[in-house]
Amino acid sequence: MSETTPKYWQSLAARAGDPALLEQSRNEFAEELPVGVAAQSSRRDFFKVMGLSAAAAMVACQRAPVQKAVPFIAKPDELTPGLALWYATTCGACSAQCGVLLKTRDGRPIKVEGNEEHPVSRGGVCAVGQASVLSLYDANRSRWPSVGGSRAAWVDLDKAVTEGLRKLAGEGKAIRLVLPWVMGPTAEAAVARFLAAFPTARTVRFDATGELEAIAEAYRLTHGARLVPDYRFDQAKVIASFGADFLGTWVSPVAFTRQYTSARDAAGKREMARHWQLEPLMSLTGASADRRVPVAPSDLVPALAALVKRLAEKAGRDVEGLTGLPEARVSTDVLDALAGELWAAKEKALVVCGGDEPAAYVLANVANELLGNAGTTVSISGGLTLDAGAMSFGELLGELDAKQVGAVLFHGVNPAYAHPKGDALAGLLKDVAVTVATSDRLDETASLVGFHAPDHTPLESWGDAEPRRGVLGLRQPVVSPLHETRSAMESLLRWAGVEQSYDDFLRARWEAEVFPRANVATGFQAFWDESVRQGVVVVLPPATTEAPAFRPESVAALKGSAVTAGELELVLYQKVGLRDGALANNGWLLEMPDPISKATWGNYLCVAPSTASKLGISDGQVVEVGFGGRTLAVPALVQPGTHPRALGLAMGYGRTKVGRIGNDVGDNAFGLASFTKGKVRRAALGVRLRVTPEHKPLALSQIHASMEGRGLVREAELAEFLANPSAGNEKEEGHGGGHPLSIWSGHEYKGHKWALAVDLSACTGCSACVVSCQAENNIPIVGEDEARRQRELHWMRIDRYYEGEPEAPRVVHQPMMCQHCDNAPCETVCPVLATVHSSEGLNQQVYNRCVGTRYCANNCPTKVRRFNWFDYKHDEPIERMVLNPDVVVRTRGVMEKCSLCVQRVQEGKALAKREGRELRDGDIRTACQQSCPAQAIHFGDINDPNSDVAKLAKSGRAYRLLEELNIGPAVTYLTKVRNTGNGSAT
């Protein structure tokens, strides 16, 4: 690295010191005038532009529209206008099934928070879970059942479906029920009742991403049972991940994030788990790793096999079946060092892998067996047993092609979109007598069936979950169904002839099967009421629960599983925000910047810097990537940390029947997966790549602010930190000490002084805080076009910085919000006093005064103020129901920024006053703090010496941004600590 190359850089252009990028960062409010317009402008043109600016300022001063509030005629007893009600329930946004709390105002769910009493998720919520409340009010949901595309009554649909299924069963025709792998124990019981009513029925399990299916298949081979174990990262001292993004998208990222940060709490435990990550693409998990090694997709299985060989040698055991695999093209020094550290930790070590290749999971299981970590970092008895008798979707396609199926019912899946043979499904279903879908909208699959029985959303329905064996989460409706929908499980029960509502079915099963295992002295009614209140209950596992034993002969199944390496290999991966695309009509998720690429609104082909240089590819250049007979034209993004042979394309985009927001955003990557011998493979494909002259601009965030060479992020090695708590945080001469000169007379805070502390060592960059802030503060989405113009409105952002060489950089994430400076530069330049300081240390924004001069944004050194360019209205009345009434909805032409959730501050103070007590530390939690799975954010009164934020501000790791400017931020950052092994500590 040359002397002119910055230590930390945001993009390859910033690292290279591109003058165009520097000019772009200086032109903060560019209007994107054509090149040469400024030079050719006349005096008349100047006054035209100035006239437009004056008109915009006048628009900013207009009065907000008048809205009438209608009082209750008969107020419900449990509801007090202005006060929130909270409901404990279970998140249904993904298969992790975390425990959450739903905040409702006047009967409207408006905010998702984590349930701290849940022993698995422990108060954390991911970005997808946060955004699920917006999907409740999606105007494109189905509002009634339909038959043949026309509206129908439930009684007519039930009669037609029931008669059709009974007739087919009587004729011996096959009935197939296509389901996700994970649903919940009572839902599985309802499915069992359906199967009992129709002897010719079988379940077909479908997994859009393939990871759960691969885990289940691997454990079927190694342990004789389809299951997903309970991984315990908090018990590990050495973690080796081969392509598993367990902090972002893999299995249960919220629970794993909490465990991971607990195992790496160097400040509290004085020790830190070592994390190795071998992967082809830079993932959220790889960004947090101590040692990250870029590996080609086709080398992951050979690398795992080489690791198993080394562990077997150390254990003195012979593992058959590894001789047929190719040699790993990974450094022997890397594999030797990794095997040595894993073996030293033994039962405190953990090996995991990602992707959809069962052979990789088999090898990971063998590695864990050799390490002897069963019951410590891998608990098979604590995991979940999945459907043992289920067919694969490939088998169903074979049956459909042979015209052997009389009925197909789809629930919770969308194979017409998410399967490489999805486009053939329409033709295959034409010859099926009864086709049913229970999706919440007429999606790609539901639009092909004859009967659509729309399901409730998880926030409208009863249900349960079992994220860990013995931990049962209860789901309760937090609002009455908004439309004429019905629980899909109740539909199955109706068609099976069970005259019982699903909530009664759920309650009866809990009384018969769960209550006896609860080991409580109360009666069932008291137990049920308490379970509903808490949202989760821990019960004894069934008496027959026994962990299946490892089968050494399972390794023989690896023969013939090697993947042929290609010159370029495609990896289809999940984004943290969109996952498999089920919530692709959710604007919060589409506009959330990807934590690694910082891109929004669409997918792109990730290309390594060396590959891009070799092929002449630049950001936004359209490339054609092909596999088999399919070709997809997508824009490219040069992504540091990508292996030179790897190409990455995110799944979840390219929806065509999801809704007006998500339709035609990005391209459908599922079509590029391979489908041979009934199996889908979404990685390690040899592909063709053709560079075109076309360009499609990407909507990238964090490209219009420059660090200007300042040390905004700071790091230290573990050994250095243990020797010196201030390591990596040495004060520069003349900065941060003494009493620097100031034009301010100083502020006195005789009462509270609110402040934040952000632990960079804990932050993984998951961006749950970004969506949480958006939901709490009524922040609108601006759309792809405005995002390209750098006009995003997020009050909070996650800045991502690289360090090192582009091929294998290290990553640091830094949450950035208004710093609430004591000497705020924004306050001195506002001509109308719209931004002022409060007596409790908050930098306040008075919207009624603001006329949109944007002087404050120009003078903000951390660039955290947002200008509201347009009046972002909600076109559908139902979508306005998500708005938080505690926060004003801003009209066009005002500045916006983080308020440190001042509405929560006032609410906490009012509650303490009503209860006649002093305000306690922890009574007030900001939205970003509340949702953080890593507990990286702390809020409190820094004037209280016993508060967490005051203690953290005095630690050796504490520093504040731009101290040399004497702005006096109220936000304290704590240096990031890494355990890279470059010292004595491990």
| 372 dihedral zone (left: phi>0; alpha: psi -120 to 50; beta) | left
Q: CA 254 to CA 123: how far, in whole Å?
A: 9
548 falls in which pLDDT band (50, 70, 90)? Answer: confident
Average pLDDT over the chain, rounded to an integer: 89
Q: Is the pLDDT of residue 974 over 90?
A: yes
737 falls in which pLDDT band (50, 70, 90)? Answer: very low
Q: Which of the following CATH numbers is that of domain 566-697: 1.10.8.50, 2.60.40.420, 2.40.40.20, 2.60.120.700?
A: 2.40.40.20
Residue 414's pLDDT is 97
Residue pLDDT, tens place only, 221-231 = 999 999 999 99
540 falls in which pLDDT band (50, 70, 90)? Answer: confident
Q: What burial letters (b/e) apply to 222-239, b meaning 16+ CB within 10 Å?
A: bbeebbbbbbbbbbbbbb
76 falls in which pLDDT band (50, 70, 90)? Answer: confident
Domain ranges of the chain: 211-384, 566-697
Residue 677's pLDDT is 83
**pLDDT (average), residues 671-683:** 88
Lowest mean pLDDT among 62-71, 265-274, 375-384: 62-71
Q: CA 265 to CA 273: how far, in whole Å?
A: 9
Q: Is the pLDDT of residue 789 over 60?
A: yes
49 falls in which pLDDT band (50, 70, 90)? Answer: very low
Q: CA 821 to CA 861: how far, in whole Å?
A: 10
For 588-650, the three-class secondary structure string (H helix, E strand, C coil) is: HHHHCCCCCCCEECCCCEEECHHHHHHHCCCCCEEEEEEECCEEEEEEEEECCCCCCCEEEEE
Q: Is the pLDDT of residue 985 over 70?
A: no
Distance from the Cα of residue 879 to its chain's centroid = 22
Domain 211-384 belongs in CATH node 3.40.228.10: yes
Q: CA 338 to CA 242: how far, in whole Å?
A: 12
Residue pLDDT, tens place only, 411-469 = 999 999 999 999 999 999 999 999 999 999 999 999 999 999 999 999 999 999 999 99
Strand arrangement of the beta sheet that strand 201-205 belongs to: 150-151, 146-147, 451-452, 434-437, 405-410, 174-179, 201-205, 391-392
- Cβ-in-10-Å burial (0-12, 13-18, 19+) of 652 comes to buried
Residue 889 φ then ψ, to 5°: -90, 120
Q: CA 667 to CA 945: how far, in whole Å?
A: 53
Residue 831 φ then ψ, to 5°: -75, -10
Residue 321's pLDDT is 67
Q: What burial letters (b/e) apply to 373-405, b meaning 16+ CB within 10 Å?
A: bbebbbbbbbbbbbbeebbbbbebbebbeeeeb
Residue pLDDT, tens place only, 681-723 = 987 678 899 999 999 999 998 765 566 667 789 999 999 999 9
872 falls in which pLDDT band (50, 70, 90)? Answer: confident
891 falls in which pLDDT band (50, 70, 90)? Answer: confident
Two structure tokens written together for 368:
């864990």
Residue 65's pLDDT is 57
Residue 757: strand pairing partners = 938, 972
Q: How far is CA 268 from CA 216, 289, 473, 595, in A?
A: 36, 19, 31, 27
Residue 385: strand pairing partners = 227
**pLDDT (average), residues 886-895:** 90
**pLDDT (average), residues 251-276:** 94
Q: Is the pLDDT of residue 212 over 70?
A: yes
Residues shown for the chain: 986
Q: CA 50 to CA 532: how far, in whole Å?
A: 61
Residue 637's pLDDT is 97
User: With pLDDT > 70 as the criterion, what percentage of the chain qualifies?
Assistant: 89
Q: CA 799 to CA 596: how far, in whole Å?
A: 9
